[in-house]
Every structure is written in structure tokens, then in C-alpha cells.
Amino acid sequence: MAKTLGIFVSSDKHLNKIIEICKAAKNQNVDVSIFFTHRGTLLTQSPLFEELQGLASMSICKVGFEGHGLRPPIPGIGDKDYGTQIRHGELIYDCDRYIVF
């Protein structure tokens, strides 16, 4: 059974740390899932956001994303990756470890 790490991101800070954690997890064969909400959705506008592609499965709170006036497309985020806080609950339930930014 694969180890899993869930990351909940509600802050618009620390993108570099999130990327480094995802890289370290990948090197240890740990699957990472990230859920961006509230101000965390603003991180999608950073050029560094693209570095998360291939390091984690990602989803975004659609209400938070649209509430900040943001619009797709976002690298690494497909149409089905925009969801509700139910995704956050699933992330908590499905992962072995969970961290919050």
C-alpha cells in the first residue's frame, strides 16, 4: 500500500515550501494530494505553480477560486479538479498524513 500525504492550502504564502515537500515526498515514493482553498487559490497565479505538475494530484475549491476573480486554465488543474469542500474531507479521509499551510 502506497503512503499518502494530504496538503491543505488556505494561505497565499509558502509555495516554495509546498513544492519542496512534494519533491521530497516523490523521492520517498509518497503520493501527494493537495487541496487549495480561500487565499491558497491565489498561488495558481505564480509562475512557480507549474512546478507542482507531476508531483501531486491537485484540486481547487471552485468557490474560493472564482471568489478571487480567477479563471481557468491553470497548469495541472483539469475541469474536474475544481470542486467543493467535500474534496477536502475526502483528502483527510484518504491520506496517511495531513499538513496545513
Domain 3-100 top-level CATH class = alpha beta
Residue 46 has pLDDT above 80, yes or no: yes
Cell of 34: 493537495
73: exposed, middle or buried (Cβ count in 10 Å: 0-12, 13-18, 19+): exposed
pLDDT, the chain, mean: 96
Q: What is the pLDDT of residues 17-38, one digit of tens each?
A: 999 999 999 999 999 999 999 9
Q: Which residue ranges make up each domain of the chain?
A: 3-100
Cα gap 80→83, rounded to integer Å: 7
pTM recorded for the entire structure? 0.94
**Is the Cβ–Cβ distance between 54 and 75 less than 8 Å?**
no
